[in-house]
């Protein structure tokens, strides 16, 4: 009997410790945790989380306390049969109604936040529009001409946006369903394959989705495709770089113009020639703004040197890694559409790396 009581006690302690352990775990959250919000809508999501969590904590402590209390207060003290109770209507109604009310409050709070995070067009709103396109396995961004953007900008992997600016994302996919998720800025939004609609292959209901956020802090926010999309789903990462007004203006100016190497030299000139040489195939899949390269299969490389990672998170961006990637990309990330290039000479490869690294 003593043993079973000790066991009971240990169970209760374990359950309580687990419950309270969640608090410090949340307090020590690290980027990209949604508990470190950096936009207005992420703010309302995390505040909803905290409100529900703290309510649940109060209920949890109350219930566990009552269990602990009754376990000790009414423990068996003699062999006499205790009073036998068969139902208590008022109590039963109370403990059905109480959780119902709690859930009703949570539903109300949640619907309120859904209203905030959902994209709704606002007449005359000063918003930056970006098209976000999922590909197996990288994200592409298209900024149409608008405001200070005088010419369409296309980039990949790193989405650059100004701080304190309403950003409207129009999300779709070029192949299968992906999901765009930057936990510190906005909730998940599916990328549906709208191309197939154009080809008449999929019925109605599959459509481009909209979301929005307004970043409140500059910084770099990591994300990850959140819908299983094939072999390399795990290596389909992206990030949002939130920059200040001056940084934004500079970025727009640089990216609306033809891609310019940030350095000069023989290797860079030669790299450009190697890249643009049709026999090397790069141009059939990649675009570099202002050159004859206009391929649409792979990511736009107009500013590839400025990215933190290549291959959507497969490798950090460095000359050595770029070299490894171009020589044998499928060896780094299997299943992708980019082939290996064993036929490129070492000198051509070095030149390509010099050229691409200089595009920022």
Which spans of this chain sit near ligand HEC (rule: CB under 6 A)? Answer: 137-138, 156-157, 232, 275, 280-282, 284-286, 297-299, 301, 304, 307, 310-312, 322, 325-326, 333, 336-339, 341, 352, 356
CA 172, CA 136: separation in Å to the nearest integer? Answer: 12
Continuous segment of H or E residues that includes residue 230: none
From ligand HEC, Cu ion, none, interface partner of 304 (C-beta below 5 to 8 A by class): ligand HEC
Three-state secondary-structure class, residue 134: strand
Cβ-based nearer residue to ligand HEC, 92 or 277: 277
Distance CA 100, CA 22 (A): 25
Beta carbons within 8 Å of 73's beta carbon, 6+ residues apart: none
Q: How far apart are CB 132 and Cu ion at their closest, in Å? A: 12
Q: How far is the CB of 349 from ligand HEC (least distance, A)?
A: 9
Give least dist CB 329 to ligand HEC, A. 6
Q: Which does 248 bind (CB under 5 to 8 A by kind): Cu ion, ligand HEC, none?
A: none
Which 3-state string (H, E, C) describes 25-61?
HHHCCCCCCCCCCCEHHHHHHHHHHHHHHHHHHHHHH
356, interface contact from Cu ion, ligand HEC, none, CB < 5-8 Å by kind: ligand HEC
Q: Rule CB under 5 A: which residues touch Cu ion?
A: 178, 225, 229, 236
Among residues 183 and 298, whose Cβ is nearest to ligand HEC? 298
Among ligand HEC, Cu ion, none, partner that 321 touches (CB below 5 to 8 angstroms by kind): none
CB of 155 to ligand HEC, least distance (A): 9
Residue 312 binds which entry of Cu ion, ligand HEC, none, CB below 5-8 Å type-dependent: ligand HEC
48 binds, among Cu ion, ligand HEC, none (CB under 5 to 8 A by kind): none
Distance in angstroms (rounded) separating the CA atoms of residues 355 and 265: 9
Neighbours of 68 (CB within 10 A): 15
Q: C-alpha distances in angstroms, 49 versus 46, 151, 336?
A: 5, 41, 38
The structure tokens 């490894």 sit at 324
- Of 98 and 297, which has the nearer Cβ to ligand HEC? 297
Alpha-carbon torsion 334, 338, 341, 347, what sign? negative
Nearer to ligand HEC, 37 or 134 (CB): 134
Cross-strand pairs, 166: 127, 214
Residue 84 to residue 64: CA distance in whole angstroms:
24
Among residues 191 and 259, whose Cβ is nearest to Cu ion? 191
What residue 229 binds from ligand HEC, Cu ion, none (CB within 5 to 8 A, per partner kind)?
Answer: Cu ion
Residue 145 interacts with, from Cu ion, ligand HEC, none (CB under 5-8 Å by kind) = none
Minimum Å gap between C-beta 137 and Cu ion is 6
In the bound complex, what is the minimum distance in angstroms from residue 38's beta carbon to Cu ion? 23
Q: Return the number of the residue (142 or 233) whose C-beta is nearest Cu ion.
A: 233
In the complex, minimum distance from the CB of residue 238 to Cu ion, in angstroms, rounded to a whole number: 10
DSSP symbols for 302-323: TTGGG-SEETTTTEE--HHHHH
CA distances from 104 to 93, 99, 110, 225 (A): 16, 8, 10, 32
* Nearer to Cu ion (CB atom), residue 167 or residue 229: 229
Please provide residue 122's backbone torsions phi and psi, each rounded to the nearest 5 degrees: -115, 125
Name the minimum Å distance from CB 210 to ligand HEC.
Answer: 25
């Amino acid at each position: 009997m003593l043993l079973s009581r000790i066991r009971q006690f240990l169970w209760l302690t374990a359950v309580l410790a687990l419950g309270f352990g969640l608090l410090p775990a949340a307090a020590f959250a690290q980027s990209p945790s949604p508990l470190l919000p950096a936009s207005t809508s992420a703010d309302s999501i995390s505040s909803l989380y905290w409100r529900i969590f703290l309510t649940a904590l109060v209920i949890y402590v109350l219930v566990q306390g009552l269990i602990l209390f009754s376990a000790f207060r009414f423990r068996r003290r003699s062999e006499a049969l205790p009073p036998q109770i068969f139902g208590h209507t008022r109590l039963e109604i109370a403990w059905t109604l109480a959780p119902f009310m709690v859930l009703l409050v949570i539903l109300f709070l949640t619907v309120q936040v859904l209203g905030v995070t959902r994209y709704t067009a606002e007449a005359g709103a000063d918003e930056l529009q970006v098209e976000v396109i999922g590909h197996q396995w990288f994200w592409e961004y298209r900024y149409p001409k608008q405001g200070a953007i005088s010419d369409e900008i296309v980039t990949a992997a790193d989405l650059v946006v100004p701080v304190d600016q309403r950003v409207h994302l129009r999300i779709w996919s070029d192949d299968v369903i992906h999901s765009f998720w930057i936990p510190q800025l906005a909730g998940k939004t599916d990328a549906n394959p709208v191309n197939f609609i154009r080809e008449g292959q999929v019925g109605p209901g599959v459509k481009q989705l909209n979301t929005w956020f307004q970043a409140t802090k500059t910084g770099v926010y990591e994300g990850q495709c959140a819908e299983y999309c094939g072999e390399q789903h795990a290596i389909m990462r992206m990030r949002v770089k939130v920059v200040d007004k001056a940084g934004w203006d500079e970025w727009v100016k640089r990216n609306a113009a033809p891609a310019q190497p940030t350095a000069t030299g023989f290797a860079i000139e030669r790299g450009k020639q190697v890249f643009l040489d049709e026999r090397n195939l790069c141009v059939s899949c990649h675009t570099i703004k202002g050159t004859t390269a206009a391929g649409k299969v792979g990511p736009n490389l107009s500013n590839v040197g400025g990215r933190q990672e290549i291959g959507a998170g497969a490798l950090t961006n460095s000359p050595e890694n770029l070299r490894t990637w171009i020589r044998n990309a499928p060896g780094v990330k299997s299943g992708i559409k980019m082939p290996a290039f064993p036929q490129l000479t070492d000198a051509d490869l070095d030149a390509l790396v010099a050229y691409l690294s200089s595009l920022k």
